[in-house]
Amino acid sequence: MALAMAPRMRCLYIFNRNGMCLHYHVWLRSLMTLSPQQDQKLMFGMLFSLNSFTAKIDPVSSGKENNPPCSFYSFRTNTYKLHFMETASGIKIILLTDPRIGDLREALMHIYSNIYVEYVVKNPLYSPGQPFRCELFNMALDHYVKTLQ
């Protein structure tokens, strides 16, 4: 899979459970239809609706609700692929990439536990629920993302 030199990652969003965008990181984005705030709100709203859509249309759920409801983890269009992960605390990590890329669920898990938790949550100067700007987080993220391409 040694593809082109062009980066396959487009951008990353991190939201908390209230819909606040904690971080927006962009690598290569040639088009932004809406303003950043509107784009983030729309992204959060769309994911919220997609989650309820997935739970409703799930063909194999038993009525019992013993297992957690089915949730989606990725969707693909002709120009991009969106990867989604939600943690138990309501932190949502969204990664937009080239459409040809494979399954990135483990990568998202790694970004959460080894980069976000390590450099942001464990940072004593960070107040939860606020957007953050952390150099070490950015560096670690860029470094990790390079290994994925």
Partner 1 sequence: MDPPLFFSRAMASIYNLFIINKSGGLIYYKDYGSTAKLDTNDSLRLASLWHSMHAISKQLSPTPGCTGIELLQATAFDLHCFQSLTETKFFVVAESGAIGIEALLKTIYELYTDYVLKNPFYEVEMPIRCELFDLHLARLILRDKSVLV
Binding interface with partner 1 (CB under 8 A): 10-11, 28-34, 39, 42-43, 45-46, 49-50, 53-54, 56-62, 70-80, 82, 96
Q: Name which of 24 and 126 has its Cβ closer to partner 1.
A: 24
Q: Quick check: 70 and 54 in contact, CB under 8 A?
A: yes
Q: In whole angstroms, what is the distance from residue 48 CA to residue 120 CA?
A: 24
Q: Name which of 28 and 109 has its Cβ closer to partner 1.
A: 28
Q: Name which of 33 and 130 has its Cβ closer to partner 1.
A: 33
Nearest to 103 by CA among 85, 117, 129: 85
**Shortest distance, position 4 Cβ to partner 1, whole Å:** 14
**Shortest distance, position 19 Cβ to partner 1, whole Å:** 15
Rounded alpha-carbon distances, angstroms, from residue 43 to 13, 137, 142? 9, 22, 22
